[in-house]
Amino acid sequence: MSQPTQDGTQTNEAQANGTRANGAREERRTENDRPDPETVETENLTLVQAVKEGLHGEMTRDDRVLVTGEDIGRNGGVFRATQGLFDEFGDDRVIDTPLAESGIVGTAIGMASHGLRPVAEIQFSGFAYPAFDQIVSHAARLRTRSRGRFTCPLTVRAPYGGGIRAPEHHSESKEAFFVHEPGLNVVVPSTPYDAKGLLASAIRDPDPVIFLEPKLIYRAFRDPVPDETYTVPMGEAAVRREGSDLSLFTWGAMTRPSLDAAANVEDEIDVEVIDLRTLSPLDNEAIVDSFEKTGRAVVVHEAPQTGGLAGEINATIQEQALLYQEAPIGRVTGFDTPFPLYALEDYYLPNATRVEEQIRETADF
Protein backbone atom coordinates (compact mmCIF):
# COMPACT_ATOMS: atom_id res chain seq x y z
CA MET A 1 0.00 0.00 0.00
CA SER A 2 1.29 3.47 -0.88
CA GLN A 3 2.04 5.90 1.93
CA PRO A 4 3.12 9.53 1.55
CA THR A 5 6.41 10.27 3.26
CA GLN A 6 7.34 13.34 5.29
CA ASP A 7 9.23 14.92 2.42
CA GLY A 8 6.13 14.85 0.21
CA THR A 9 7.06 11.94 -2.04
CA GLN A 10 5.04 8.82 -2.69
CA THR A 11 6.14 5.39 -1.49
CA ASN A 12 4.66 2.42 -3.31
CA GLU A 13 5.59 -1.02 -4.53
CA ALA A 14 7.39 0.32 -7.59
CA GLN A 15 9.61 2.57 -5.51
CA ALA A 16 10.29 -0.23 -3.07
CA ASN A 17 11.57 -2.31 -5.95
CA GLY A 18 14.39 0.05 -6.88
CA THR A 19 15.90 -2.12 -9.57
CA ARG A 20 12.70 -2.37 -11.56
CA ALA A 21 11.84 1.33 -11.27
CA ASN A 22 15.38 2.46 -12.13
CA GLY A 23 15.44 0.14 -15.12
CA ALA A 24 12.22 1.66 -16.42
CA ARG A 25 13.68 5.16 -16.05
CA GLU A 26 16.78 4.18 -17.99
CA GLU A 27 14.67 2.79 -20.83
CA ARG A 28 12.54 5.96 -20.83
CA ARG A 29 15.66 8.06 -21.41
CA THR A 30 16.81 6.11 -24.44
CA GLU A 31 13.63 5.05 -26.24
CA ASN A 32 12.53 8.54 -27.25
CA ASP A 33 14.93 7.99 -30.15
CA ARG A 34 12.19 6.57 -32.36
CA PRO A 35 13.16 3.69 -34.66
CA ASP A 36 12.96 4.26 -38.40
CA PRO A 37 10.70 1.59 -39.97
CA GLU A 38 13.10 1.44 -42.92
CA THR A 39 16.09 0.45 -40.78
CA VAL A 40 14.67 -1.96 -38.18
CA GLU A 41 12.67 -5.18 -38.19
CA THR A 42 9.00 -4.39 -38.83
CA GLU A 43 5.64 -6.04 -39.40
CA ASN A 44 2.78 -4.63 -41.46
CA LEU A 45 0.02 -4.04 -38.91
CA THR A 46 -3.41 -2.51 -38.79
CA LEU A 47 -4.06 0.17 -36.20
CA VAL A 48 -5.86 -2.20 -33.83
CA GLN A 49 -3.04 -4.74 -34.15
CA ALA A 50 -0.58 -1.99 -33.30
CA VAL A 51 -2.60 -1.21 -30.17
CA LYS A 52 -2.37 -4.86 -29.14
CA GLU A 53 1.37 -4.87 -29.80
CA GLY A 54 1.74 -1.71 -27.74
CA LEU A 55 -0.08 -3.30 -24.80
CA HIS A 56 1.94 -6.49 -25.11
CA GLY A 57 5.23 -4.62 -25.23
CA GLU A 58 4.49 -2.56 -22.15
CA MET A 59 3.16 -5.54 -20.18
CA THR A 60 6.31 -7.46 -21.02
CA ARG A 61 8.56 -4.55 -20.16
CA ASP A 62 6.94 -3.54 -16.85
CA ASP A 63 5.01 -5.93 -14.61
CA ARG A 64 3.16 -2.99 -13.04
CA VAL A 65 1.14 -2.68 -16.27
CA LEU A 66 -2.22 -4.45 -16.37
CA VAL A 67 -5.37 -4.17 -18.48
CA THR A 68 -8.95 -4.15 -17.31
CA GLY A 69 -12.37 -3.83 -18.93
CA GLU A 70 -15.45 -5.60 -20.26
CA ASP A 71 -14.75 -8.81 -22.21
CA ILE A 72 -11.06 -7.98 -22.59
CA GLY A 73 -9.86 -11.31 -21.14
CA ARG A 74 -10.69 -14.60 -22.84
CA ASN A 75 -12.74 -12.86 -25.54
CA GLY A 76 -9.95 -10.42 -26.39
CA GLY A 77 -12.22 -7.37 -26.44
CA VAL A 78 -15.01 -6.45 -28.83
CA PHE A 79 -12.43 -5.36 -31.46
CA ARG A 80 -9.87 -8.00 -30.38
CA ALA A 81 -7.41 -5.35 -29.22
CA THR A 82 -6.44 -7.51 -26.23
CA GLN A 83 -6.59 -10.89 -27.94
CA GLY A 84 -4.00 -13.32 -26.58
CA LEU A 85 -3.00 -11.20 -23.58
CA PHE A 86 -5.08 -13.27 -21.14
CA ASP A 87 -3.34 -16.50 -22.17
CA GLU A 88 0.11 -14.97 -21.79
CA PHE A 89 -0.25 -12.79 -18.70
CA GLY A 90 -3.07 -14.44 -16.77
CA ASP A 91 -6.16 -13.20 -15.01
CA ASP A 92 -4.30 -11.11 -12.44
CA ARG A 93 -3.05 -8.76 -15.18
CA VAL A 94 -5.84 -9.12 -17.76
CA ILE A 95 -8.98 -8.52 -15.74
CA ASP A 96 -12.52 -8.96 -17.01
CA THR A 97 -14.91 -6.58 -15.27
CA PRO A 98 -18.66 -6.21 -14.89
CA LEU A 99 -20.51 -3.83 -17.18
CA ALA A 100 -19.87 -0.82 -14.95
CA GLU A 101 -17.71 1.93 -16.42
CA SER A 102 -17.60 3.95 -13.22
CA GLY A 103 -16.32 0.89 -11.40
CA ILE A 104 -13.77 0.08 -14.11
CA VAL A 105 -12.22 3.53 -13.99
CA GLY A 106 -12.64 4.07 -10.24
CA THR A 107 -10.89 0.79 -9.44
CA ALA A 108 -8.13 1.62 -11.91
CA ILE A 109 -7.58 4.99 -10.22
CA GLY A 110 -7.04 3.16 -6.95
CA MET A 111 -4.58 0.81 -8.63
CA ALA A 112 -2.70 3.73 -10.17
CA SER A 113 -2.43 5.60 -6.89
CA HIS A 114 -0.88 2.52 -5.30
CA GLY A 115 1.94 1.95 -7.75
CA LEU A 116 0.40 0.05 -10.66
CA ARG A 117 -0.06 1.28 -14.24
CA PRO A 118 -3.54 0.18 -15.27
CA VAL A 119 -4.93 0.44 -18.78
CA ALA A 120 -8.72 0.58 -18.50
CA GLU A 121 -10.71 -0.12 -21.64
CA ILE A 122 -14.09 1.51 -22.20
CA GLN A 123 -15.75 -0.66 -24.82
CA PHE A 124 -16.96 2.38 -26.82
CA SER A 125 -16.20 5.99 -25.98
CA GLY A 126 -19.93 6.73 -25.82
CA PHE A 127 -20.07 4.49 -22.75
CA ALA A 128 -17.58 6.67 -20.86
CA TYR A 129 -20.13 9.05 -19.41
CA PRO A 130 -20.87 6.97 -16.27
CA ALA A 131 -17.10 7.09 -15.60
CA PHE A 132 -16.82 10.82 -16.30
CA ASP A 133 -17.08 11.73 -12.62
CA GLN A 134 -14.23 9.37 -11.75
CA ILE A 135 -12.08 10.77 -14.57
CA VAL A 136 -12.57 14.49 -13.96
CA SER A 137 -13.19 14.52 -10.20
CA HIS A 138 -10.44 12.12 -9.19
CA ALA A 139 -7.99 10.96 -11.89
CA ALA A 140 -7.41 14.46 -13.30
CA ARG A 141 -7.11 16.04 -9.85
CA LEU A 142 -5.08 13.52 -7.86
CA ARG A 143 -1.73 15.24 -8.42
CA THR A 144 -3.13 18.68 -7.52
CA ARG A 145 -5.28 17.42 -4.65
CA SER A 146 -2.29 15.74 -3.01
CA ARG A 147 0.10 18.62 -3.82
CA GLY A 148 2.23 16.27 -5.88
CA ARG A 149 2.45 13.50 -3.29
CA PHE A 150 0.46 11.14 -5.52
CA THR A 151 0.10 10.80 -9.27
CA CYS A 152 -2.33 8.80 -11.36
CA PRO A 153 -0.51 6.84 -14.10
CA LEU A 154 -3.76 5.64 -15.66
CA THR A 155 -4.53 5.12 -19.34
CA VAL A 156 -8.17 4.96 -20.40
CA ARG A 157 -8.49 3.43 -23.87
CA ALA A 158 -11.68 3.77 -25.91
CA PRO A 159 -12.62 3.13 -29.54
CA TYR A 160 -14.22 6.37 -30.72
CA GLY A 161 -15.79 8.05 -33.71
CA GLY A 162 -18.27 6.99 -36.36
CA GLY A 163 -18.33 5.24 -39.69
CA ILE A 164 -18.94 1.59 -38.78
CA ARG A 165 -22.76 1.50 -38.79
CA ALA A 166 -22.98 1.06 -35.03
CA PRO A 167 -26.04 1.66 -32.81
CA GLU A 168 -26.68 4.69 -30.62
CA HIS A 169 -23.90 5.66 -28.16
CA HIS A 170 -21.29 3.79 -30.21
CA SER A 171 -20.12 6.59 -32.57
CA GLU A 172 -19.60 9.77 -30.57
CA SER A 173 -16.59 12.06 -30.93
CA LYS A 174 -16.53 13.93 -27.65
CA GLU A 175 -12.80 14.50 -27.27
CA ALA A 176 -13.48 18.13 -26.32
CA PHE A 177 -15.08 16.96 -23.06
CA PHE A 178 -11.74 15.59 -21.92
CA VAL A 179 -9.52 18.29 -23.43
CA HIS A 180 -11.42 20.85 -21.36
CA GLU A 181 -10.35 19.19 -18.12
CA PRO A 182 -6.93 20.26 -16.75
CA GLY A 183 -4.86 17.32 -15.64
CA LEU A 184 -5.77 15.00 -18.50
CA ASN A 185 -3.71 14.16 -21.57
CA VAL A 186 -5.79 13.35 -24.66
CA VAL A 187 -4.30 11.33 -27.51
CA VAL A 188 -5.80 10.32 -30.89
CA PRO A 189 -3.49 8.30 -33.19
CA SER A 190 -4.10 8.07 -36.92
CA THR A 191 -1.49 5.48 -37.98
CA PRO A 192 -0.40 2.07 -36.69
CA TYR A 193 3.12 3.38 -36.00
CA ASP A 194 1.80 6.22 -33.87
CA ALA A 195 -0.76 4.00 -32.14
CA LYS A 196 1.93 1.71 -30.74
CA GLY A 197 4.37 4.48 -29.84
CA LEU A 198 1.84 6.87 -28.36
CA LEU A 199 0.26 4.09 -26.31
CA ALA A 200 3.66 3.29 -24.82
CA SER A 201 4.11 6.96 -23.94
CA ALA A 202 0.65 7.08 -22.40
CA ILE A 203 1.25 4.05 -20.20
CA ARG A 204 4.60 5.37 -19.00
CA ASP A 205 3.30 8.86 -18.26
CA PRO A 206 2.79 9.65 -14.56
CA ASP A 207 -0.54 11.39 -15.25
CA PRO A 208 -3.84 10.13 -16.69
CA VAL A 209 -4.22 9.78 -20.44
CA ILE A 210 -7.43 9.45 -22.44
CA PHE A 211 -6.39 7.34 -25.44
CA LEU A 212 -9.03 7.55 -28.17
CA GLU A 213 -8.71 5.03 -30.98
CA PRO A 214 -10.55 5.89 -34.24
CA LYS A 215 -12.34 2.64 -34.94
CA LEU A 216 -13.21 3.63 -38.52
CA ILE A 217 -9.56 3.02 -39.41
CA TYR A 218 -8.92 0.10 -37.03
CA ARG A 219 -8.48 -2.22 -40.03
CA ALA A 220 -8.58 0.24 -42.94
CA PHE A 221 -4.89 -0.08 -43.90
CA ARG A 222 -1.56 -1.52 -42.81
CA ASP A 223 1.76 0.21 -42.19
CA PRO A 224 5.21 -1.02 -41.16
CA VAL A 225 5.50 -1.02 -37.36
CA PRO A 226 8.82 -1.78 -35.62
CA ASP A 227 8.92 -5.02 -33.67
CA GLU A 228 10.86 -3.36 -30.86
CA THR A 229 9.36 -1.24 -28.12
CA TYR A 230 9.46 2.53 -28.76
CA THR A 231 7.67 5.72 -27.80
CA VAL A 232 6.17 8.59 -29.74
CA PRO A 233 6.13 11.67 -27.48
CA MET A 234 2.79 13.16 -26.58
CA GLY A 235 2.31 16.83 -27.42
CA GLU A 236 4.05 16.70 -30.81
CA ALA A 237 2.11 17.09 -34.06
CA ALA A 238 3.21 15.39 -37.27
CA VAL A 239 3.44 17.02 -40.70
CA ARG A 240 1.79 14.44 -42.96
CA ARG A 241 2.13 16.59 -46.09
CA GLU A 242 4.19 19.72 -46.56
CA GLY A 243 2.68 22.72 -48.33
CA SER A 244 2.91 26.47 -48.70
CA ASP A 245 -0.58 27.78 -49.59
CA LEU A 246 -2.85 26.56 -46.81
CA SER A 247 -2.55 24.71 -43.47
CA LEU A 248 -5.00 21.90 -42.73
CA PHE A 249 -5.18 20.74 -39.10
CA THR A 250 -6.82 17.43 -38.22
CA TRP A 251 -6.47 14.20 -36.24
CA GLY A 252 -7.62 10.61 -36.01
CA ALA A 253 -9.77 9.14 -38.78
CA MET A 254 -10.12 12.55 -40.45
CA THR A 255 -6.45 12.53 -41.43
CA ARG A 256 -7.05 10.25 -44.42
CA PRO A 257 -9.86 12.24 -46.11
CA SER A 258 -7.85 15.39 -45.42
CA LEU A 259 -4.85 13.94 -47.24
CA ASP A 260 -7.10 12.79 -50.08
CA ALA A 261 -8.54 16.29 -50.42
CA ALA A 262 -5.07 17.84 -50.41
CA ALA A 263 -4.01 15.46 -53.18
CA ASN A 264 -7.11 16.32 -55.23
CA VAL A 265 -6.20 20.02 -55.35
CA GLU A 266 -2.43 19.74 -55.50
CA ASP A 267 -2.21 21.12 -59.05
CA GLU A 268 -3.80 24.38 -57.86
CA ILE A 269 -3.30 24.67 -54.08
CA ASP A 270 -0.32 23.44 -52.08
CA VAL A 271 -1.87 22.18 -48.82
CA GLU A 272 0.11 21.36 -45.71
CA VAL A 273 -1.59 18.67 -43.60
CA ILE A 274 -0.82 18.64 -39.87
CA ASP A 275 -1.92 15.61 -37.85
CA LEU A 276 -2.11 16.94 -34.29
CA ARG A 277 -2.04 13.42 -32.73
CA THR A 278 -2.27 14.84 -29.19
CA LEU A 279 -5.12 17.21 -28.35
CA SER A 280 -3.98 17.89 -24.80
CA PRO A 281 -1.31 19.09 -24.63
CA LEU A 282 -1.86 20.74 -28.00
CA ASP A 283 1.20 21.43 -30.14
CA ASN A 284 0.59 25.17 -30.47
CA GLU A 285 4.06 25.72 -31.87
CA ALA A 286 3.39 23.44 -34.84
CA ILE A 287 0.04 25.14 -35.46
CA VAL A 288 1.51 28.63 -35.41
CA ASP A 289 4.61 27.74 -37.43
CA SER A 290 2.53 26.23 -40.21
CA PHE A 291 0.06 29.12 -40.28
CA GLU A 292 2.80 31.72 -40.41
CA LYS A 293 4.07 29.95 -43.51
CA THR A 294 0.72 29.71 -45.32
CA GLY A 295 -1.56 32.45 -43.94
CA ARG A 296 -4.65 30.30 -44.48
CA ALA A 297 -6.09 27.42 -42.50
CA VAL A 298 -8.82 24.78 -42.41
CA VAL A 299 -9.59 22.57 -39.41
CA VAL A 300 -11.26 19.18 -39.89
CA HIS A 301 -12.84 17.07 -37.15
CA GLU A 302 -15.84 14.74 -36.96
CA ALA A 303 -17.10 16.07 -33.62
CA PRO A 304 -19.97 18.60 -33.65
CA GLN A 305 -18.89 22.09 -34.64
CA THR A 306 -20.02 24.06 -31.59
CA GLY A 307 -17.46 23.76 -28.81
CA GLY A 308 -15.20 21.59 -30.94
CA LEU A 309 -11.42 21.81 -30.96
CA ALA A 310 -11.52 23.79 -34.21
CA GLY A 311 -12.57 26.80 -32.15
CA GLU A 312 -9.56 26.45 -29.84
CA ILE A 313 -7.19 26.11 -32.79
CA ASN A 314 -8.76 29.17 -34.39
CA ALA A 315 -8.30 31.16 -31.17
CA THR A 316 -4.67 30.05 -30.89
CA ILE A 317 -4.00 31.36 -34.39
CA GLN A 318 -5.79 34.66 -33.65
CA GLU A 319 -3.76 35.17 -30.49
CA GLN A 320 -0.35 34.19 -31.81
CA ALA A 321 -0.35 34.71 -35.58
CA LEU A 322 -3.08 37.21 -36.45
CA LEU A 323 -0.85 39.41 -38.57
CA TYR A 324 -0.13 36.49 -40.91
CA GLN A 325 -3.81 35.79 -41.64
CA GLU A 326 -4.99 36.11 -45.24
CA ALA A 327 -8.49 34.58 -45.00
CA PRO A 328 -11.10 33.43 -42.47
CA ILE A 329 -10.24 30.06 -40.96
CA GLY A 330 -12.47 27.32 -42.36
CA ARG A 331 -14.06 24.47 -40.40
CA VAL A 332 -15.21 21.10 -41.71
CA THR A 333 -16.91 19.21 -38.91
CA GLY A 334 -19.78 17.04 -37.88
CA PHE A 335 -23.12 18.72 -37.32
CA ASP A 336 -24.65 20.00 -34.09
CA THR A 337 -26.96 17.02 -33.80
CA PRO A 338 -26.80 13.63 -32.11
CA PHE A 339 -24.79 11.22 -34.23
CA PRO A 340 -27.26 9.76 -36.74
CA LEU A 341 -28.00 6.13 -37.46
CA TYR A 342 -27.04 4.27 -40.61
CA ALA A 343 -28.86 6.14 -43.37
CA LEU A 344 -27.27 9.52 -42.59
CA GLU A 345 -23.93 8.43 -41.16
CA ASP A 346 -21.95 9.08 -44.34
CA TYR A 347 -23.62 12.48 -44.72
CA TYR A 348 -22.71 13.44 -41.15
CA LEU A 349 -19.01 12.59 -41.32
CA PRO A 350 -16.60 14.96 -43.10
CA ASN A 351 -15.32 13.45 -46.33
CA ALA A 352 -12.76 14.40 -48.96
CA THR A 353 -15.36 16.26 -51.04
CA ARG A 354 -16.43 18.52 -48.16
CA VAL A 355 -12.83 19.14 -47.18
CA GLU A 356 -11.86 19.96 -50.76
CA GLU A 357 -14.72 22.47 -51.06
CA GLN A 358 -13.58 24.26 -47.90
CA ILE A 359 -9.97 24.28 -49.05
CA ARG A 360 -10.99 26.00 -52.28
CA GLU A 361 -13.24 28.50 -50.50
CA THR A 362 -10.47 29.47 -48.06
CA ALA A 363 -7.82 29.63 -50.75
CA ASP A 364 -10.00 31.79 -53.02
CA PHE A 365 -10.86 34.38 -50.36
Average pLDDT, the chain: 91
pLDDT at 2: 41
Inter-residue long-range contacts of 307-311, CB under 8 Å, 24+ positions, other chains counted: 307/176, 308/176, 308/333, 309/175, 309/176, 309/179, 309/279
Per-residue burial over 75-113, b if 16 or more Cβ lie within 10 Å, else e, is ebbbbbbbbebbeebeeebbbebeeebeebbbbbbebbb
pLDDT at 14: 38
pLDDT at 126: 87
pLDDT at 70: 96
Separation CA 235–CA 286 (nearest Å): 10
User: What pairing do the DSSP bridges indicate for beta strands 155-160 and 117-121?
Assistant: parallel
Choice among 57-71, 104-118, 226-240, 333-347 with the minimum mean pLDDT: 333-347
pLDDT band with cut points at 50, 70 and 90 for residue 22: very low
pLDDT band with cut points at 50, 70 and 90 for residue 36: confident
Domain parsing of the chain, residue ranges: 3-226, 238-364
Residue 316 DSSP SS3: helix
Range 80-104 average pLDDT: 96
pLDDT at 66: 98
Range 204-225 average pLDDT: 97
Told to judge if 180 belongs to the known catalytic residues of this protein, a careful annotator would answer: no
- Angle formed by the axes of helices 255-264 and 352-364, to 10°? 50
pLDDT at 19: 32
Choice among 40-44, 198-202, 353-357 with the minimum mean pLDDT: 40-44
pLDDT at 131: 95
Q: Evaluate if residue 181 carries a pLDDT over 80.
A: yes
pLDDT digits (tens, 9 = 90+) for 288-335: 999 999 999 999 999 999 999 999 999 999 999 999 999 999 999 999
Q: Name the residue among 67, 100, 93, 92 with its Cα closest to residue 82.
A: 67
pTM tops 0.85, yes or no: yes
Q: Evaluate if residue 183 carries a pLDDT over 50.
A: yes
Pick the CATH number of 238-364 from 3.60.15.10, 3.40.50.300, 3.90.1300.10, 3.40.50.920: 3.40.50.920
Identified catalytic residue from 56, 114, 169, 170: 170
Range 201-216 average pLDDT: 97
Is the model more confident about 40 or about 277? 277
Range 31-55 average pLDDT: 87
Return phi, psi of residue 45, to 5°: -120, 150
Is the model more confident about 22 or about 87? 87
pLDDT at 167: 83
Q: Evaluate if residue 75 carries a pLDDT over 60.
A: yes
pLDDT at 33: 59
Tell me the CA distances in angstroms from 313 to 217, 261, 284, 317, 322, one per residue in order: 24, 20, 8, 6, 12
pLDDT digits (tens, 9 = 90+) for 150-167: 999 999 999 999 988 888
pLDDT digits (tens, 9 = 90+) for 127-153: 899 999 999 999 999 999 999 999 999
- Of the chain, the percentage scoring pLDDT greater than 90 comes to 84
**Architecture per CATH, 3-226:** 3-Layer(aba) Sandwich (3.40)
pLDDT band with cut points at 50, 70 and 90 for residue 185: very high
